[in-house]
C-alpha cells in the first residue's frame, strides 16, 4: 500500500513538473509581446489592483504606455493570457473579419442569465439569429418606440424638476431608472414603473445580478460553478436569476395567450407591411417580444426558452449601456458651458418655447447634440472592452497568436490615440462635424463595436439618448459638480462612474 501511494505521489509530482515547465515556456514566449514584466505562475496578477477604479486606471495607463505597439498583454496566472488591442489598425483586422467572430470565454458568466442569445452565441446560431432579428430594428418599429422614449423622458423631467434649484444631487440613478422603464416597455411591452418604484423586486434583481457577474469575472477562484454555487454570492445570484427568468417567462406566456389565431400566423414581414390598428385608429404599439413571437428560424417559430434568452439579452444590452452614455454626456456637457450654450441654441431653434414631444424630424435636426453625444462616447465608451476568441492562428501587430487566444479590443484606448484625436482628453464635439471625420480611420471610433458583430441596437440607443438629453437640456441648465479626477471610471461590464454623476440643475423656463 505504501509503495502504491509512493508511486502515485511520484506520478503527481512528475505531472505537476511537466505542467509547470509547459506553462513557464508559454509565459516566456508570451513575454515577447509588449507588457509589464511577469513572474512565474502569477503572471501579472500580483501587480493588478482588486479595486475596480484602480484596475481601470492601470489598464488605461498600460494602453497609453504601449499604444505605439498596437497591442499589449496581461497574464492572469500562467494559464490565462490576454492580448489587448489599443489601436484602430489592429482592431480592424480582427473585428472586420468574418472569421474571428466568437466571443471570448469571459462571456460564459452571462450564460446563466442570457443563455446563448445574440450577444453570447457563436457560429451558425449567431448568424441565423442576427439575420432573423435585424428586422426588429426596422425604422418603422423604431418610430413606434419614440413615443415610449418621450413618455418616460417626460416622467424623468418631472422628477428632475422637483430636484432643480435644490442643491447638488446624483442624477445617475434617475437616468438609469428611466432607461430601465424604456427597455422593459420596448422589449417586453410591460411597464415596471422603475421611476416610480425603484424598490421593486425586478429592478433590484437586475442591478444585483449585474454586480455579482462583474465580481465573479474578476475573482478566478469563483470561476468554477461548483465553488461559486456554494458561496453566499452564488446563492444570491441564483435568487436573482429566478426573479428575472420568472418575470420574463410570465410576460411571454401572457403575450402568447393574448394573441388571436390570426396573429399566430403572422411573420415579421407581415407586421411590417400591415400594422394592426386599435379602436381609436392609432397604430398598436409593439414590443420586441411581439416580433420575436412571430420570428421564424429555419422554417420554425422560436422555442419558448429561445424567446426568453433574446428578451433577456435585449434587457441586458439596452439598459445600463444607454444609462451610462447619457450620464457621461450630461457630465461633459455640464462641465463645458460653451458646448451647453450651443446645444441650447440648437434645441431652442427646433422647439422654441414648446414642450411638445420629440419627433423623428427633430432628431435629424439635433446635429450638434449628436456630435456632443459621439464625443462623450469617444471619451467614455459605454462598453470598455470587446472580447474575441481567435478561431485560427493569427498575426496581430507582427506577433503570432494561437487559435483559442483571448483578444480584448479596448475602445477606450483606441479613442485616445493622439494621432487621430489631438489633445484627446479635451471634450470637443467639433471632432464629429462632417468635415472633420472624412479622413478618419473607420475603426478609430467604435463605441458600438464594428464589423459583422456590431451592435444591432445602435440606432435604437442613439435615438433614446438624444431624446433623453434633449428633454433634459430643453428644460434645464446643467452644472457638473465633479472634476475629471473625481469621476473614477469603473471598467466593468460597462464603463460606469464610481460615485455617480453629481450635478445641479437650474430651470430654463
Task: State the Rg of the chain over Cα.
Answer: 24
CA distance 40 to 77: 8
Helix, strand, or coil here: 472? helix
* Cα angle: 501, vertex 362, 329; to 5 degrees: 15
CA distance 257 to 275: 20
The closest alpha carbon to 327, from 497, 194, 493, belongs to 497
The closest alpha carbon to 207, from 243, 249, 235, belongs to 243
Say if residues 296 and 435 touch (Cβ distance below 8 Å).
Answer: no
The grid coordinates listed for 331 are 457630465
How does 179-216 read in b/e, with b if 16+ C-beta sit within 10 Å? bbbbbbbbbbbbebebbeeeeeebbebbbbbbbbbbeb
Helix, strand, or coil here: 163? helix
Q: Residue 11: is it exposed, middle or buried by C-beta count within 10 angstroms (0-12/13-18/19+)? A: exposed
Phi, psi of 310 (to 5 degrees): -75, -40
| Residue 455 marked in a binding site | yes
CA distance 122 to 137: 21
Instruction: Sort strands 102-103 and 495-497 into parallel, antiparallel or unpaired.
Output: unpaired
- Binding positions for heme: 455
Binding-site residue numbers are 455
Amino acid at each position: 500500500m505504501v509503495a502504491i501511494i509512493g508511486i502515485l505521489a511520484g506520478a503527481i509530482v512528475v505531472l505537476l513538473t511537466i505542467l509547470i515547465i509547459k506553462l513557464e515556456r508559454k509565459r516566456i514566449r508570451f513575454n515577447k509581446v509588449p507588457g509589464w514584466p511577469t513572474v512565474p505562475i502569477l503572471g501579472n496578477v500580483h501587480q493588478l489592483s482588486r479595486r475596480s477604479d484602480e484596475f481601470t486606471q492601470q489598464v488605461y495607463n498600460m494602453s497609453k504606455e504601449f499604444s505605439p505597439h498596437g497591442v499589449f498583454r496581461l497574464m492572469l496566472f500562467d494559464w490565462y493570457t490576454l492580448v489587448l488591442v489599443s489601436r484602430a489598425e489592429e482592431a480592424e483586422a480582427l473585428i472586420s473579419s468574418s472569421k474571428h467572430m466568437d466571443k471570448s470565454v469571459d462571456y460564459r458568466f452571462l450564460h446563466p442569465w442570457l443563455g446563448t442569445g445574440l450577444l453570447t452565441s457563436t457560429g451558425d446560431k449567431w448568424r441565423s439569429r442576427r439575420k432573423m432579428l435585424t428586422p426588429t430594428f426596422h425604422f418603422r418599429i423604431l418610430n413606434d418606440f419614440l413615443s415610449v422614449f418621450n413618455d418616460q423622458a417626460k416622467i424623468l423631467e418631472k422628477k428632475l424638476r422637483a430636484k432643480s434649484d435644490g442643491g447638488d444631487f446624483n442624477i445617475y440613478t434617475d437616468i438609469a431608472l428611466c432607461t430601465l422603464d424604456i427597455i422593459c416597455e420596448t422589449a417586453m411591452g410591460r411597464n415596471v414603473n422603475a421611476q416610480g418604484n425603484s424598490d421593486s423586486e425586478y429592478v433590484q434583481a437586475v442591478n444585483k445580478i449585474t454586480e455579482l457577474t462583474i465580481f465573479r469575472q474578476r475573482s478566478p477562484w469563483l470561476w468554477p460553478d461548483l465553488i461559486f454555487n456554494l458561496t453566499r454570492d452564488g446563492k444570491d445570484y441564483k435568487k436573482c436569476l429566478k426573479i428575472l427568468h420568472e418575470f420574463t417567462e410570465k410576460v411571454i406566456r401572457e403575450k402568447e395567450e393574448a394573441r388571436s389565431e390570426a396573429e399566430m400566423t403572422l411573420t415579421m414581414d407581415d407586421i411590417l407591411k400591415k400594422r394592426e390598428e386599435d379602436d381609436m385608429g392609432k397604430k398598436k404599439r409593439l414590443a420586441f417580444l411581439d416580433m420575436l413571437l412571430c420570428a421564424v428560424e429555419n422554417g420554425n417559430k422560436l422555442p419558448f426558452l429561445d424567446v426568453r434568452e433574446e428578451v433577456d439579452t435585449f434587457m441586458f444590452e439596452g439598459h445600463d449601456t444607454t444609462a451610462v452614455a447619457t450620464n457621461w454626456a450630461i457630465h461633459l456637457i455640464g462641465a463645458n458651458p460653451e458646448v451647453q450654450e450651443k446645444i441650447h441654441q440648437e434645441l431652442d431653434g427646433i422647439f422654441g418655447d414648446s414642450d411638445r414631444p420629440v419627433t423623428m424630424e427633430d432628431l435629424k435636426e439635433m446635429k450638434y447634440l449628436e456630435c456632443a453625444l459621439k464625443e462623450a462616447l469617444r471619451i467614455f465608451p459605454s462598453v470598455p472592452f470587446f472580447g474575441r476568441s481567435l478561431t485560427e492562428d493569427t498575426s496581430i501587430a507582427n506577433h503570432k497568436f494561437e487559435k483559442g487566444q483571448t483578444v480584448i479590443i479596448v475602445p477606450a484606448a483606441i479613442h485616445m490615440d493622439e494621432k487621430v484625436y489631438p489633445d484627446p482628453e479635451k471634450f470637443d464635439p467639433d471632432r464629429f462635424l462632417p468635415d472633420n471625420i472624412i479622413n478618419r480611420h473607420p475603426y478609430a471610433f467604435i463605441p458600438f463595436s464594428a464589423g459583422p458583430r456590431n451592435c444591432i441596437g445602435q440606432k435604437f440607443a442613439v435615438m433614446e439618448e438624444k431624446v433623453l438629453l434633449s428633454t433634459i437640456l430643453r428644460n434645464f441648465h446643467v452644472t457638473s459638480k465633479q472634476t475629471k479626477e473625481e469621476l473614477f471610471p469603473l471598467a466593468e461590464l460597462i464603463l460606469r462612474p464610481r460615485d455617480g454623476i453629481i450635478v445641479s440643475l437650474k430651470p430654463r423656463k
